[in-house]
Structure 1
Amino acid sequence: MTANLTDLGFRKGVFSETIVSTYNPDGSGNAAPMGLKLVDEQHLEMNIFNTASTCRNLKAKKCAVVNLTHDIEVFYKSSFKDANLAGKLSAEWFTKAEVVNAPMLRSADATIEVAADTMMEDGDRTEFVCSVKRLVATAQFPQVYCRAMPLAVEAIIHATRVKVFLTTPEKQKEVAELIELIKHYAQVIRRVAPDSEYTAVMADLQGRIDSWRLK
């Protein structure tokens, strides 16, 4: 289906949650949740920590695929690779992009193949401005809104911070606040989407957080 970036929900000044996929140095596929901002109809901006695999891969290959999906398991398992059976993303998740030298997610609702036009390091992050080379979106029926999806995504994002901050003494207040928020989100999800993929993800996520705290 022919579409523009704004047709897919991108707006100037608004962070949109996506999954960015790139090739690792060994040729395997990598995918990670990433908040992107619209520059214009042909450009997206992403600001990535220099220590992230996506940053390293994007600097090396100068291209990536921005994947849109409503599958919460994809968000979760691309955030925490050890949540996958082999401790890493399965090669079956990926297929080669049509135009750029990057993998794309087979399950994506839309894929945006991009090339990095500019990259600028700023402290511990690098800002990439990427141009759209190919955009494909599947035709879908309108979807009803469920509160569980954005709450689960927010919990996953918070949990990535918890994992990083747990061993930093001056961050313990923030860690405690994030964990309480995650607990609250889990309670709401159990109420609005019981026995769903969202409750399964939240149960695994909370167990994972407990295991980090015991280390």
Structure 2
Amino acid sequence: MFELKIRDTSCLKNGGVIGIILLKYMRLLHVESMDLHDDQPRGDVTGLLDEFGFSEGLLVESIVTTLKQNKEPHFAPIGVKRVGDRLIIGKLFKNTDTYRNLCSSPQLVINLTDNVLLFYLALFDDVPPEKYTRGGPKTKIPYLREADAIIEADALKFGDRGDFVTVELEVLGILVMRGGPRFLSRCKHAVLESLVHFTRIPIYMREGREATELVELIRHYREFVERNCPEVPYKFIMRDLEGKLTRMRGC
């Protein structure tokens, strides 16, 4: 059964985004717990994702939580694309912890946030325990406390593409912590792009491919951040990433 939960009820005032969702799709609402249970889950998932801003064909950068075999959470930045009432991970490499975790426990939580520091911590699986909860309402998988919203999902189907797989996801529930969209600045974009490029460099090096272009892109973004962005967290992240890059390549 699909489930929508609203954590921050202030977003229901004055016809806010979540208020529109509830007015349009509500069938049975328990005010005391703010739980929404729906008798037609798949159609309503599509409508809810539309209203939430996760439109058809949109690729969203998210932080995905999976469970390790010891039941501890693993966090990783992963892009998720909307296709109809499903979500798709377009490229999940088989040598990653996320892939191994989903093979043994095929459920996950998609944390939606524009907090670039959380992306940085998740990239190195270094999210401190105080940053996440014990578990989501549907999957019992921990999620980030500072996320604006989470989507809990089942991994339905893996498409083998050689070194990586595509993963088709079915939405189980949405938990909204904060109403209204968050807008990304160019500072956040620059850091996020640098993190994406950084993850590709070890793969290039293992395959004997030249990674100079990726390194130059990261350094280009660092120069932009140094000129235009605040110290915390942007310059801190880029300087630390530059140090990791230097140690990785010996340059």
Scaled by the length of structure 1, the TM-score of the pair is 0.86
Aligned residues: 205
| Identity fraction in percent | 30
1:50-199 map, 5 Å: 50-81=94-125, 88-95=126-133, 96-140=135-179, 143=182, 145-169=184-208, 171-172=209-210, 175-199=211-235
Larger CA deviation: 1-10 vs 128-137: 1-10
Could you give the per-residue CA deviations for residues 135-184 of structure 1, whole angstroms, max 9, x where no partner exists? 12233466565210011100000011123323543x12xx1111111111
User: Do residues 29 (structure 1) and 65 (structure 2) align?
Assistant: no
- Which runs of 5 or more residues in structure 1 are unaligned? 82-87
Is contact 2:107–2:139 with CA below 8 Å preserved after alignment? yes
Larger radius of gyration: 2
Is contact 1:37–1:46 with CA below 8 Å preserved after alignment? yes
Kindly tell me: are residues 168 and 119 of structure 1, through their superposed partners in 2, closer, same or farther at Cα, counting changes over 3 Å? closer
Could you give the per-residue CA deviations for residues 100-149 of structure 1, whole angstroms, max 9, x where no partner exists? 14221122111001112222322122222111111122334665652100
Is contact 2:116–2:188 with CA below 8 Å preserved after alignment? yes
CA distance in 2, matches of 1:178, 1:6: 34
Kindly tell me: are residues 101 and 61 of structure 1, through their superposed partners in 2, closer, same or farther at Cα, counting changes over 3 Å? farther
Q: CA deviation at 1:18?
A: 0.5
Kindly tell me: are residues 104 and 152 of structure 1, through their superposed partners in 2, closer, same or farther at Cα, counting changes over 3 Å? same
Cα RMSD (Å): 2.0
CA distance in 1, matches of 2:228, 2:157: 43
- Which runs of 5 or more residues in structure 2 are unaligned? 1-5, 7-17, 22-47
Kindly tell me: are residues 92 and 143 of structure 1, through their superposed partners in 2, closer, same or farther at Cα, counting changes over 3 Å? closer
Scaled by the length of structure 2, the TM-score of the pair is 0.75
CA distance in 2, matches of 1:29, 1:115: 16
Is contact 2:149–2:178 with CA below 8 Å preserved after alignment? no
CA distance in 2, matches of 1:70, 1:32: 14
CA distance in 1, matches of 2:167, 2:216: 33
* Aligned equivalent of 1:44: 87
Q: Which amino acid aligns with 2:138?
A: V
Kindly tell me: are residues 120 and 163 of structure 1, through their superposed partners in 2, closer, same or farther at Cα, counting changes over 3 Å? closer
CA distance in 1, matches of 2:105, 2:219: 39
Is contact 1:64–1:101 with CA below 8 Å preserved after alignment? no
Q: Which amino acid aligns with 2:89?
A: M
Is contact 1:45–1:129 with CA below 8 Å preserved after alignment? yes
Alignment equivalent of 2:58, drawn from 6, 10, 14: 14
